Structure 1
Amino acid sequence: MPHVNIKHFPRDLDPEAQKALVEGLVGLITQAFDVSETTVSVALEPVEPAAWRDRVVLPELHNRSDLLARRPAYDIA
């Protein structure tokens, strides 16, 4: 039952762009985890730039750095 939550700076994706993003992710996830696409959920969560450090960097990147499969190029300390 993979779930992906993408936190991102606010950006309006038109329905076609959002659909393409989600379908691409679901395709990769189903292949990598060998699951049905009906088991995959995807959330898109906008986070204001001013809140990025408190809502993403510290709790998700710094405090859980052992789970990162890919680190960002910016400082997460």
Structure 2
Amino acid sequence: MPHVSIEYFPRDLSDAEKQSLAHEITASLQKYLGASEQSISIAMQEVAPADWKKQVYDPKIKAHLDTLVKKPGYEY
């Protein structure tokens, strides 16, 4: 039952582009985790740059640096 949550700076992504991204992520989860398509959920949330540190970096990145498989190349 993988769930992927993606927070990102606002972009002008069309619904088709979001679906394409979700399709590619789904395919990777199926390949590497053996997950069925029906078990996968994906959320996408735009976060304003001014809110990134408070909403994303501090609680979801900085607080979990020891468990991140891919760490960011920046710090706040």
In the alignment, the residues of structure 1 paired with residue 23 and residue 14 of structure 2 have an alpha-carbon distance, to the nearest angstrom, of 14
TM-score, with length taken from structure 2:
0.93
TM-superposed deviation, 1:16: 1.5
Aligned length: 76
In the alignment, the residues of structure 2 paired with residue 50 and residue 60 of structure 1 have an alpha-carbon distance, to the nearest angstrom, of 16
Residue 37 (structure 1) aligned with residue 37 (structure 2) = yes
TM-superposed deviation, 1:65: 1.1
Residue 49 of structure 2 aligns with an amino acid whose one-letter code is P
Q: How does 1:65-76 map to 2 (within 5 A)?
A: 65-76=65-76
In the alignment, the residues of structure 2 paired with residue 26 and residue 8 of structure 1 have an alpha-carbon distance, to the nearest angstrom, of 18
Query: CA offsets, 1:1-58, max 9 Å, x none?
Result: 0000000001121122111100000000111111101100000011110000011111
TM-superposed deviation, 1:67: 1.9
Paired position in structure 1 for 2:12 = 12
Moved over 2 A (4+): none
Which secondary structure does the structure 2 equivalent of 1:63 belong to? helix
TM-score, with length taken from structure 1:
0.92
Q: Structure 1: where are the runs of 5+ without partners?
A: none
In the alignment, the residues of structure 2 paired with residue 3 and residue 19 of structure 1 have an alpha-carbon distance, to the nearest angstrom, of 15
RMSD of equivalent CA atoms: 1.0
